[in-house]
Amino acid sequence: MELAIGIMLGCCALGAGIAMIAGIGPGIGEGNAVAKACEAIGRQPESRGSVTTTMIMGCAIAETTGLYALVIAILLILVAPRQFVNILMSAIGK
Distances (CA, A) of 58 to 3, 31, 48, 78: 46, 11, 15, 31
If DSSP codes are grouped into helix, strand and coil, which group holds residue 94?
A: coil
DSSP tag of 44:
-
Q: pTM, whole model, 2 decimals?
A: 0.71
Residue 91 has pLDDT above 80, yes or no: yes
Indicate if the pLDDT at residue 1 is higher than 80. no
pLDDT tens-place string over residues 22-49: 888 888 888 999 999 999 999 999 999 9
pLDDT of residue 26: 85
Check residue 35 and give its pLDDT. Answer: 92
pLDDT digits (tens, 9 = 90+) for 2-25: 888 888 889 999 999 998 888 888
